[in-house]
Amino acid sequence: MQERRFGYEEEWGRLMRLALDGDALAYRTLLGAIAPHLRNTVRRFLARSGRGTADLEDIVQEILLAVHLKRATWDRSLPFMPWLNAVARYKTIDALRRAGIRGEVELDGLADTLAAQEGQEDHTLDSKRILQALEARQRDIVEQIMLMGRSAAEVGSALGMSEGAVRVALHRSLKKLATIFRTGSHEN
């Protein structure tokens, strides 16, 4: 993947530094800003590999999750973009490799068609599938934060939990989500 030099590279590094020091607004801004870049990067990669874009958004989300879970591995004294692109490359290749294993093999036209349809089914990690894999409590927490936009404290009040307990459950859910992405919905 090419690394183009635009002004936003330094801005994103600046935002990530703030985020690593605890600035949630900077972090939200950063994630929202890099998502389109990741989308384009993955789209180019898929095109070059001759693959369709059915999994595009899943891969983007998988990369964002990896950026989040592995954010401490960025060395602040080094540029942000090579780190970001390395994470994106690693996760995209991983996703494509898994898709290959699940049967998108060049056999004949029919097999390709079936595989493509199967691929759509297997890869679309819709909310229902993900939430199914979580425990009931984790599911409630994730739903309230994602769909209602509540904070951990607000979710705690709503569910009768401490904010700390909500945070622990949230973090565990995200790590579980990474496993689901990595091993696919078959692991359910």
Partner 1 sequence: MKTENFIRLLAEDLPSGPARQGIALTRWMSATALATGAAFLLFAGARADLLGGGLLPSIMKVFMGALLAWAAIGGATSLARPEASVVQPLRRLVTFAAFLAFLFATELVFRGLDGWLVRMFGKSIVGCLTVIPLLALLPLVVSLHALRGGATTSPTFAGGLAGLASAGVAIIAYGVFCTEDSLVFVATWYSLAAIMVAGLGAVLGRTLLRW
- 181 makes contact with partner 1 (CB under 8 A): no
In the chain, the largest separation of any two C-alpha atoms, in whole Å, equals 57
Segment near partner 1 (CB under 8 A), from 47-55, 95-103, 105-113, 149-157?
Answer: 149-157
Distance CA(160)–CA(175), nearest Å, equals: 23
CA dist 12 to 6, 65, 97, 172, Å? 11, 17, 29, 27
- Part of the chain binding partner 1 (CB under 8 A), chosen from 40-48, 95-103, 104-112, 122-130: 122-130
Question: For the window 55-84, what string marks contact with partner 1 as x by the rule CB under 8 A?
Answer: --x--xx--xxx-xxxxxxxxx-x---xx-
Residue 146 near partner 1 by CB under 8 A: yes
CB of 145: closest distance to partner 1 in angstroms? 5
Instruction: List all residues 6 or more positions away from 75 whose beta carbon is below 8 Å from its beta carbon.
Output: 83
Q: How far is the CB of 29 from partner 1 (least distance, A)?
A: 9
CB atoms within 10 A of CB 74: 20
User: Closest approach of Cβ 116 to partner 1, in Å?
Assistant: 22
Segment 12 to 41, residues that bind partner 1, using CB under 8 A = 19-20, 22, 24, 27-28, 31-32, 35
CA-CA distances (angstroms) from residue 25 to 16, 22, 72, 169?
11, 9, 18, 22
For partner 1, the binding residue among 113, 117, 132, 151 (CB under 8 A) is 151
Q: Give yes or no for residue 159 binding partner 1 (CB under 8 A).
A: no
3-class DSSP assignment, residue 85: helix
Residues 89-118 binding partner 1 (CB under 8 A) are 89-90, 94
CA 132, 104, 126: angle at the middle one, nearest 5? 20
CB of 92 within 8 A of CB of 42? yes
For tokens 């874009």, the residue is: 53
Binding site for partner 1 (CB under 8 A): 19-20, 22, 24, 27-28, 31-32, 35, 57, 60-61, 64-66, 68-76, 78, 82-83, 85-87, 89-90, 94, 125-127, 130, 142, 145-147, 149, 151-152, 167, 170-171, 174, 178, 182
